[in-house]
Structure 1
């Protein structure tokens, strides 16, 4: 066949192969939202990218008072680069989870606090980006902050990186609490000196949140919610967040003080791959 037809055929085979690999990696009984186009490219296409189902909303439309600091839209994360699929710095969630966060926020506001989300729905293409990064043992630019005591080669076996994430189902959120009034956290400057995420609060990267004992996404056992070494004010702050969210229907992941999932999940067995942008909600609300 001619070169244009041959190139088109090869592109079609590549997309089919990528889709088969994604589906084959799913846990038993789980479903995947079928990506269209190249899910790993990071490039959005209004006609090819999947759309969010009607059950998804932008958190800001449900509760604009909840602070948002979407770390994976920025280079201030354990990879040191913006993550594939985060086209806008916004929090998307299932409506049930967003409504539950609103209930928790109302309670916290009465006590002089506000919730702040770091991450919400996470497309499968972003998880794929994590996996590829974890395999590149030469890229350790952010080790000094996020995993100072962890060998990058063990991130999979230690459970810090996985091929699937509950975030991709839309009812899981990473978040913290800040005391009001809370000034914005200053932007991270790529290349600036790094400090261990488990160090004293004044030594860690500045964050306008309560001191939880470690920073967000700290790959360290001190990040375990009830680690006995975390005491005093830090433990009190973790328990304050935990109690307020549990009252609203969220369940904590015991190995990450910031990680909560609303139960029952709207989509307990589906891993979505639509990009994070207002366009993904277009025509659905």
Structure 2
């Protein structure tokens, strides 16, 4: 892998990506819609309902590295026992999109800087909420996705009891399958093995089968 201007090694060609998969199948990014058919997608970066106010993705798609996606399958199964399911707001994010977000926000607490890259770029981070399985309606949680207020912090306590309970249910279900919450954002979870996976700057079209 060639290093970029910040010294990061990035996979940015489909050929190199396929070579990595041939070496290690775990590096493959899996379409979550295929693996979890009942998953609700609300991919905000495919719309203007996001921090930049413009669509950053050409389509509402969600990919994660194979073991991360398989862990999310188990989360979905556990939540189903409560009559709940996951709503995914974002999953794999191309490095170039992370650069755009950082250039706009200029805050390392809410956007990964270009010299570090994001765990989203590795297909190892996922932004999630909860829905009712029977209706598909969103379950109340502390804030909307990407609402960067104090209430977004995982330990913010000045909330109605039912919202605290919903947040606890989501956190517990994700942690049980090896996901680690980013405390500033109740919705953001990193897979515990994230460091084993490559930084990618591939468009969604390069990942489709």
Residues 66 and 116 in structure 1, CA contact (< 8 A), matched pair in contact too: yes
Q: Is the 8 A contact 1:123 1:168 kept in 2?
A: yes
- Contact persistence 1:214–1:223 (CA under 8 A): yes
Gaps of 5+ in 2: 22-27
> What corresponds to 2:107 in structure 1?
156
Show the counterpart of 1:40. none
1:97 pairs with 2:71 = no
Match of 1:238 in 2: 167
For 2:75 and 2:165, locate their aligned partners in 1 and report how far apart those are by CA, in whole Å: 17
Distance 1:57 1:161 in 2: 24
Aligned to 1:9: none
Check the 8 A contact 1:101/1:248 in 2, yes or no. Answer: yes
Q: Is the 8 A contact 1:251 1:261 kept in 2?
A: yes
Shift in Å, 1:93: 0.5
Using the TM superposition, give the Cα deviation of residue 31 of structure 1 relative to its aligned residue in structure 2, in angstroms: 2.7
> What is the CA–CA distance in structure 2 between the aligned matches of 1:266 and 1:79, rounded to whole Å?
28
Please report the TM-score for the alignment, with normalisation by the length of structure 1: 0.64
| C-alpha distance in structure 1 between counterparts of 2:16 and 2:186, whole Å | 31
- Aligned residue pair count: 198
Task: Give the ranges of 4+ consecutive aligned residues of structure 1 lying more than 6 Å apart after TM superposition.
Answer: none
Encode CA deviations 1:67-96: one digit per residue, 9 max, x unaligned: 11111011111111001xx23211110010
Residues 225-283 of structure 1: per-residue CA shift (max 9 Å, x gap): 11122341111111000011111111111111000112223734x32000123x4244x
The counterpart of 1:271, out of the listed 194, 199, 202, is 199
Shift of 1:131: 2.8
Give unmatched runs, 5+ long, in structure 1. Answer: 1-18, 37-47, 135-154, 184-207
* Cα contact 1:225–1:254 (8 A) shared by 2: yes
Question: Cα distance, 1:51 vs. partner?
Answer: 4.5
Q: 1:90 to 1:63 in 2, by over 3 A?
A: same
Q: Equivalent residue for 2:55?
A: 82
Higher alpha-carbon Rg: 1
